[in-house]
Amino acid sequence: MTAELVKTNQVTVTIDGIQVSVPADTLVIRAAEEIGVQIPRFCDHPLLAPAGACRQCLVDIPDAGNGRGFPKPQASCTLPVAEGMVVNTQATSPVADKAQQGVMEFLLINHPLDCPVCDKGGECPLQNQAMSNGQGESRFAESGGVKRVFPKPINLAPQVLLDRERCIVCQRCTRFADEIAGDPFIALVERGAQQQIGIAEGVEFLSYFSGNTIQICPVGALTSAAYRFRSRPFDLVSSASIADHDACGSAIRVDHRRGKVMRRMAGDDRDVNEEWITDKDRFAFVSTRLDDRLTHPQVRDTETGELRAASWPEAFAVAARGLAAAKKKVGLLPGGRLTAEDAYAWSKFARVTVRTNNIDFRARPLGADHGAEEAAFLASTVVLGAPGAGAVTYADLETASAVLLAGLEPEDEAGTIFLRLRKANRATGARVFAISAVGTRGLAKVDGTLLPTVPGAEAAALAAVASNSDVALDSHSVILVGERLAVVPGALAAAVELARSTGARLAWVPRRAGDRGAVETGCLPTLLPGGRPVADAMARVDLAEAWGVDAVTGKDGLSGSQILDALRDGDLNALVVGGVDPADVLPSGGVDKKLRKALKKAFVISLEVRSSEFTELADVVFPVAPASDKAGTFINWEGRVRSFPKVLDHPSSLPDVRVLAGIAEERGRSIGVRTPEQAWAEIVKVGPWSGERAGFEAPASAAAPQPAAGQLVLASWKQLLDDGRGQDGDEHLRASVRPPVALVSAGTLTSLGLTAGDEVELAGPLGRLRLPVAVGEVAEGVVWAPASAPGASVRHQVGPAGSAVTLVGGTK
Amino acid sequence: MGTLKEQFWDPVAGFGVTFRTMFRKVVTEQYPFEKLPTAPRFHGRHQLNRWPDGLEKCVGCELCAWACPADAIYVEGDTNTEDERFSPGERYGRVYQINYLRCILCGLCIEACPTRALTMTNEYELADTTRESLIYEKSDLLAPLLPGMELPPHPMLLGADEGDYFRGNFRPSQADESAEEH
C-alpha cells in the first residue's frame, strides 16, 4: 500500500538520455544530480526557496512532458520535473552549454579579477564554475575591460563585510535573512548594473545568524571581518566538530592552520542544525588563546603563600593530600561545559575517590529550594531520554502542531531550536506560545503568541494553559522548558502536569553544551551515572558492582548553591571546581569577602582552561583542555550523542578525565579510566539504569512574589551575545552585542511619566544601573533588561531575575 | 693475451689526451676567490620587490606558497590600515618566510606571483650552519630601498588607489624616478 503510494508520486524524466525516477515537484537541477550531472549554479540552495536569480543553470528542454519543447533554455533551479520531460544539460546539449557560457560571460563583466586578495579564492563557486562552464575569453575585454567599482568594503554588521563589486546578485544572503533567520535587514537596492546588496541608512544587519550569509555567498562578496586575509583554503585543515556554546549540538567544521583555529563554519547535519549555526558558534573561538590561558599546573607555596609552577606529578600529589585531609567534606562544582566523558570522570571521582554526593554541574542561580525541584525533574523526566527512545527531536519540532515555551527564549538560548521553530511556523503554520514576561523579536519572528506572565508566576501560568482554549495542546504538541524555570517553585511540576493532562511531549533545554551530558553521567547530588537514583539502594549496588567498588554512598549530597553556602559557613573543607565562571554562581558577580576568606581557608582544586577568580584562590591549579583540544561527546538537549574528535594537539593541557585520574591514583582510589575513549567505553559498559525511575513529587508551589506599590518585577535573561568569557577576544563579535535597554509596556511607561529613549535608573537589591528605556510587548508591572551586556551587567548591578526593582526617570 | 697494439700502443695513447690538454685554456674556476657571473636568468635567492615609492608589491595572496612543490613558503596576510600601509590596496603580507632547506629553486613561485612581487636574484651562496638561519624572513627577502623610495608604512605616493599602481598610472612627479625591479 505504502509502496504503491510512493510509486504514484514518482515522475520519470529523461536527462541527457538517461531515464530517472524522482519524486514529483523535484527541481530539474536536483533530478540531474541523481544521475551525476552537476549543473552549474549560484543562487540555488537546497534550503532556500527557488529564485532563478543568477540564470547560470540554463538547460535545454526539447520536450516538457507534453510533447512540446521550450523554445529557449530554461533555468533548471526553478523548474519542477514533469512526467516524460526530456532535459539536455551542458553535458550533451551545445545549446545549454552555449547559454551557460554566455551567462558566465555576463556575470564576469563587472566581477573584479582580484582573486589573489579575495578570501573566497580557492573555494569559490564562481572561480570553479568559470573554469568548468565558462569560456576563456570575454568579449567585454575589447572595450578596455573597465569594470564597475565601488569603495570597499562596507560593514553590513560589525562581523560581516560586503565587497559590492564582487556581488553577482544571486540573493542567497537576502533570501537567508528573510526566509531562515527572519531578520530582513539586507535587501537589494538600486537598479541595473548598480544593483547591490544594501542596508537601510544606519540600520545594521544585526542578526544572530548573520555569519551564515558569509558561508553561503557563492562569491567573495560577503566576508568575515575576523577571518579577512587571515589564511587561504589550502592552508587549512578542516575537522568536523560540535558547537560548544549551547545545548543544541550543532555540527560545525573547524578550520585550523598550524595549531591555530582560523575560522568555524556550519557543518551539514539535516537532523540537527541543517546548515546553519549562530554567530556565537561561528565566531566565538578566540578566547582559549588569550593570555590568561593556563599552561602549566600550579600549587600554592606553603612558605610564600603564592601560586608557583609545579610539575604534574607534584600537583597530583598535593591535590591528593589536600583531599585526604578534607575527608568527605568536599564539594565538587564541575560546571556545565564539560564533555560527557569528562562529566563522567567528575561523577565517578566524587563517588569513588572522594566518596560524596556533593556534586552539582549547575553553575547558575538555583532558587530558594537550591535546585531540588529541578534535580527531581531531571531525574524523573529528562535523564535517559534520547531520539529513538521517545524524546522530543528537532524533527518533532518541525512537525509539531503547537509548541509551548516556558522559561526559554530560543533565539537567545538555543539558536538552532529557534530556526526550527521558524521553519515549522513558515511551513505548516505551527503555533508557538511563550510563557514569558516579554514578547521578544525572536517570538515575533516565529509568529508566536505571548502569554504574558510576571516572573515568578510561571507555575500558575502553566497550570492555566490547560484551560486556555486558544492554546490547544495535543499529543503532537511539544512543551519546551528552559533552565530558568528552576528558580520558580512549582513551575517544572506544573509543566509535567500540563504534559500529562494534554498528552503533549516535554523537553528540557539547558543553556550550556555540557549540561545534558552532566545529567546523563550523574553530576547531580541525587543522580548517579546512567540515571541511577542515589536514593535507590538497588541502583547503588548495581553501580558499585559495575565499578568494582565496595559501595557507593547513599548519603544526601549538597547542590551547587548549598556547596557554596556550606563553604561560607565552614562546613566543607575542600572544593574541587571546574569550568565555573564566578560571575554565574555568585550573585554579586565576584567572590564576596566571606567566601574569599572561606576559600582561602579551605583546600581548593581548580581545573580550568583560563585563569578565573576561583583559580586565583585555589591551592592547586590544573590547566585543562578546551573542547578543541580533546576528543569528546556533547549530549544535546534532545539526548542525541554528538561525538567529536580532537582538533588541535596542545600538550600543555589535559582533559579533565586525565587530571582527575591522576589525583585519584595518587589518592589510592583510582577512577579506572584515563582517557576520553576509556571513559566513553565505561559509560557504555555501565549503561542506563533499567530499574525504577525516581519519582517526581510536585512541591508546594509558592505564590508569586507581589512587588510593593511603585515597584516592578525584573524579567531578565542572558542574550546570545553578551559579556560572557567565551566570547572574549573577538572585537567584531562583541561589537554586535545588542545595546542594553530597559523594556517596559506602554502602560507602565506612561504611569511612570517617562518617554521612550529616556535614560532611567534601574534600582534593585544589588544596586542601580542607568539604561535607556524602550517600549515593548511586556507584561504589566514588569521591566525587562538583559542579564549581562558589556559594561551593563544587570544581574550583578541590579539583581537576579524576579527581583523587585524600581525605575526612576533621570535626565538624558 | 691481446694483440701487439693492445699490449704496447694503447697504454701510451692515453697520454696523448694529457699532452693535448696541456696547451688548452684551463676551465677550473677559482671559487670562492674568484666569482664568475651566473647566467642572467639563473634561479638564485628570492627577492620581494617594491614599488618605486617603497611600498611592497607583495599582497600576501599566498599563491607562491600554493605553487610551491616543496612547501617551502609560508605567508600570512593582513589588512592595511590608513595609518599603517605596507602595500597599495587592502592586503599585504605580514609574515613571509622561505625555507631554503626545502626550496629547490624551481621558480614556480615566481610564475605564480600575480604582482611580480617575488622574483629571483642571481645570488647562489645559500649555505649556513644552522637550520633557523636558513628560514629567510620578510626582512631578509625584501629588496633594498633605492633612491626615492621610502620605508613603509606610508601612504600611497604614486596613485590614488591600487589600480593606479597595477596599471602603472603613476603620478607624473614620481614616474620618472621609477626604478625597474631586478
Burial of A632 (0-12, 13-18, 19+ CB in 10 A): buried
How big is the CA angle at A274 (ends A254 and A728), to the nearest 5 degrees?
A: 40
pTM score of the predicted model: 0.92
Cβ pair B79:A228 closer than 8 A: yes
pLDDT digits (tens, 9 = 90+) for B92-129: 999 999 999 999 999 999 999 999 999 999 999 999 99
Average pLDDT of A42-49?
95
Report whether pLDDT(A652) > 90: no
Q: How confident is the model at residue B182 (pLDDT cuts 50, 70, 90)?
A: very low
Q: B144 CA to chain A: closest CA distance, Å?
A: 25
Whether A704 and A454 have beta carbons less than 8 Å apart is answered as yes
Task: Tell me the mean pLDDT in the region A683-704.
Answer: 82
Interface check B67 vs A, CB under 8 A: no
List the single best residue of B64, B80, B90 to mutate versus A (max A Cβ within 10 A).
B90
Q: Is the pLDDT of residue A770 over 90?
A: yes
- Interface test with chain A among B91, B97, B116, by most A beta carbons within 10 Å: B91
The fraction of chain A above a pLDDT of 90, given in percent, is: 78
For residue range A258-276, what is the model confidence (pLDDT) as tens digits? Answer: 999 999 999 999 999 999 9
A372-406 per-position pLDDT tens digit: 999 999 999 999 999 988 899 999 999 999 999 99
CA-nearest residue of chain A to B162?
A114
Band (pLDDT 50/70/90 cuts) for residue A812 is: very low
The CA distance from A117 to the nearest CA of chain B, in Å, is: 5
Per-chain mean pLDDT for chain A: 92
Between chains, do A235 and B63 touch, taking CB under 8 Å as contact?
no
Q: Do A122 and B66 touch (CB under 8 A)?
A: yes
Is A223 in contact with A429 (CB distance < 8 Å)?
no
Q: Is B90 on the interface with A (CB under 8 A)?
A: yes
Contact list, A122 vs chain B (CB under 8 Å): 66
Q: Which residues of A touch B66 (CB under 8 A)?
A: 122, 232, 234
CA distances from A450 to A422, A426, A434 (A): 15, 18, 5
| Cβ pair A420, A493 in contact under 8 A | no
Residue A783 in this model has a pLDDT that exceeds 60:
yes
> Among all chains, which residue has been given the C-alpha cell 543553556?
A511
pLDDT at A233 exceeding the cut of 90: yes
Q: What is the pLDDT of residues A656-687, one digit of tens each?
A: 999 999 999 999 999 999 999 999 999 999 99
Q: Decide if A229 and B78 are in contact by the 8 Å CB cutoff.
A: yes
Q: Which of B65, B77, B163 sits opposite A229 (nearest CB)?
A: B77
pLDDT tens readout for residues B59-99: 999 999 999 999 999 999 999 998 999 999 999 999 999 99
Residue A168's contacts (CB-CB under 8 Å, 6 or more residues apart) are A42, A54, A107, A111, A126, A218, A219, A221
* pLDDT in the model for residue A202: 67
In this prediction, residue A7 carries a pLDDT of: 56
**Rounded Cα gap, residues A756 and A766, in angstroms:** 25
Q: How would residue A639 be classed by pLDDT, with cut points 50, 70 and 90?
A: very high
Give the residue from chain B lying closest to A115, CA to CA: B61
pLDDT at position A29 over 60: yes
Task: Report ipTM (2 d.p.).
Answer: 0.86
Q: What is the pLDDT of residues A188-205, one digit of tens each?
A: 888 888 888 888 776 766
Query: What is the model's pLDDT at position A394?
Result: 96
Select from A116, A152, A153 the Cβ nearest to the Cβ of B63. A116
pLDDT surpassing 90 at residue A286 = yes
Instruction: Kindly report each contact of residues A427-432 with a partner whose C-beta sits within 8 Å and lies 24 or more positions away, as own/partner.
Output: A427/A398, A428/A398, A428/A399, A430/A399, A430/A400, A430/A401, A430/A402, A430/A403, A431/A401, A431/A402, A431/A403, A432/A402, A432/A403, A432/A404, A432/A405
Q: What is the pLDDT of residue A1?
A: 42
Per-residue pLDDT reduced to its tens digit, A728-737: 999 999 999 9
Measure in Å the smallest separation between the Cα of B89 and chain A Cα atoms.
Answer: 9
Q: Where are the beta strands (DSSP E) in A231-329?
A: 237-242, 251-257, 260-266, 298-300, 307-309
- pLDDT-based confidence at B179, cuts 50/70/90? very low
Buried b / exposed e over A276-290, threshold 16 CB at 10 Å, is: bbbbbbbbbbbbbbe
Chain centre to alpha carbon of residue A609: 20
Q: Mean of the pLDDT values across residues A610-637? A: 93
Which pLDDT tens digit goes with each residue over A448-469? Answer: 999 999 999 999 999 999 888 8
CA distance A363 to A524: 12
User: Looking at residue A2, what is its pLDDT?
Assistant: 47
Contact assessment for residue A40 and residue A100, using Cβ atoms and an 8 Å cutoff: yes
Residue-averaged pLDDT of chain B? 91
Q: Do B77 and A234 touch (CB under 8 A)?
A: no
Q: For A116, which of B61, B79, B163 is closest by C-beta distance?
A: B61
Sort out which chain B residues have CB atoms less than 8 A from A234's CB and list them.
Answer: 62, 66
Q: Give the pLDDT band (50/70/90) at residue A321.
A: very high
Nearest residue on chain B to A151, alpha-carbon basis: B161
The CA-based dihedral angle spanning residues A717, A721, A726, A727, taken in that order and rounded to the nearest 10 degrees: -160
Q: Give the one of A116, A229, A234 whose C-beta lies nearest to B79's C-beta.
A: A229
A257, closest residue in chain B (CA to CA) = B76
For residue A119, the distance in angstroms to the closest alpha carbon of chain B comes to 9
- The answer for B 133-172 residues in CB contact with A (under 8 A) is 163
Contacts of A149 in chain B (CB under 8 A): 163
Average pLDDT over residues A761-772: 92
Of all residues in chain B, the one with the smallest CA distance to A121 is B61
* Distance (Å) from the alpha carbon of B94 to chain A's nearest alpha carbon: 10
pLDDT for the residue numbered A701: 63
> In Å, how far is B140's CA from the nearest CA of chain A?
22
Give the pLDDT confidence score for residue B174 in this predicted structure: 47
How confident is the model at residue A784, as a pLDDT?
95
Can you give the pLDDT at residue A809?
80
SS3 A54: coil
DSSP state of A764: E
Give yes or no for residue B176 having a pLDDT over 80: no
A584 pLDDT more than 80: yes
Residue B180 has pLDDT above 60, yes or no: no
Residue A637 has pLDDT above 80, yes or no: yes
Residues in chain B with CB shorter than 8 Å from the CB of A112 are: none
Q: Which chain A positions have a beta carbon within 8 Å of B60's beta carbon?
A: 117, 229
CB A332 within 8 A of CB A525: no
For position A810, what pLDDT does the model report?
A: 65
Q: Could you tell me how many CB contacts below 8 A there are between chain A and chain B?
A: 38
- What is the pLDDT, as a whole number, of residue B101? 95
Residue B108 contacts A, CB cutoff 8 Å: no
Q: How confident is the model at residue A590 (pLDDT cuts 50, 70, 90)?
A: confident
Tell me whether residues B61 and A235 touch, CB distance under 8 A. no
> Residue A291 — φ and ψ, nearest 5°?
-65, -25
- A217: distance to nearest CA of chain B, Å? 20
Of residues B66, B90, B163, nearest to A117 (C-beta):
B90
How much is the average pLDDT of A102-110?
A: 93
pLDDT (tens digit per residue) in A4-27: 555 568 999 999 999 999 999 999
- Residue A506, classed as helix, strand or coil, is strand
